[in-house]
Structure 1
Amino acid sequence: MEVDLCFVMDCTSSMGSHIEGAKSSIKKVVDYMANMKPAIVVRVGFCGYRDHCDGSDRLQIIEFTTSCDEFKNNVSNVSALGGGDDPEDVLGGLNAAVTSMAWRNPTRVLLHIADCPPHGRRFTNMSDTYPDGDPNGLTAEQVLREMRSADIYYFFGKITEYTETMTRVFQSIIGEYPVFDIKNTPDPEELVEKFFDATCSAINTAITLRGE
């Protein structure tokens, strides 16, 4: 069985403690999946996003690989930085993961981890430089339907209550999807375990949905 697993993560400054937990969890998941061979062969990738004010740091993509050591080394270089207002370039990050990465395997899992919503009044009443929505013209409908047409299963790791409206909007477009509650986890080891459990659950759910 072959699986593409992509982590899409808000990598702005507010995510500092969670990024470290997620990085530790990602490494743990990669090691776990490596030990599952040949039952499950996982290509793992990463797409970090920040905000429109962050220039060349707005997106940070680590392409899919089956090399655990290569991926772990690359993800170790991901840092929490940047971000301007409260919302972030969520749609840009998801769009890059869906359209710019080389998805190949039949079972495709995207695990999105974030603490803030996309830009636009549709998603939030927080202070927003782009209250009319994504400045590049991306819409949730466009991004999520492209994801669905590519047979990518979407899962969300919820860190704060600020993403609840985003979840409702997203589910109105593509239907119900699993939301993993990662918030209120101050203990680093517990945070790693929550990320690990969410990732393994996402993979198993996607495999079940495909009937493999």
Structure 2
Amino acid sequence: MKTILLTGFEPFGGESINPSWEVARALDGEQIGDARVVARCLPCVFGAALSSLKQSLREHPPALVLALGQAGGRSDLSLERVAINIDDARIADNAGRQPIDEPVVEGAAAAYFSTLPIKAMMAGLREAGFPAGISQTAGTFVCNHVFYGLQHFLRGGPVRSGFMHIPLLPEQAAHLPGQASMALKTMVDGVRLALALAMRVDVDVRQSGGSIS
């Protein structure tokens, strides 16, 4: 059976929970089409996250990889289009590191695009009633760090991969007036559908869409 590698992050920034890992572990072991989901939790630490990711890729050779990350302020399932070769941290990671204007991979490409059929995934999610969109920036914190590292590791190969940002959970947003959130079940169901779409769509659709957020 094929493997879908699905990653999330440990909590960071003083939080006690991270929805990206809650979603990933909820789907761990599920069969989607002819593939089984293997979920792994990455440390929210520059460098260490890529080491953990690389180990997971070696131990569970995937047919497809989707990395998930938390994005406060977003209200939809945000499929990221591009990862950039820069670490520029507004806050320290969980090891106290705060790189400023440093490359993710020295001497490598300036950017990599997602190799997932992100437009088809967005269209399928919206058709099923899930709020979804295309994002043109994964930021410059550990999420982008992992997204860039993932695309760099798999460049030129047959394995398709990419990154999705998801909103906060309601319990996280409860103490943040006006902050968007999404129920865990909704995110789990949405990511499950996104993976199914990614596995069965060979050629992405052409349609306009996306935002700067």
Task: Indicate the TM-score class for this superposition, using the shorter chain for normalisation.
Answer: 0.3 to 0.5
Could you state the TM-score of these two structures normalised by the residue count of structure 1?
A: 0.48
Q: Which has the higher contact order (CA 8 A, sep 6+)?
A: 2
Higher helix share: 1
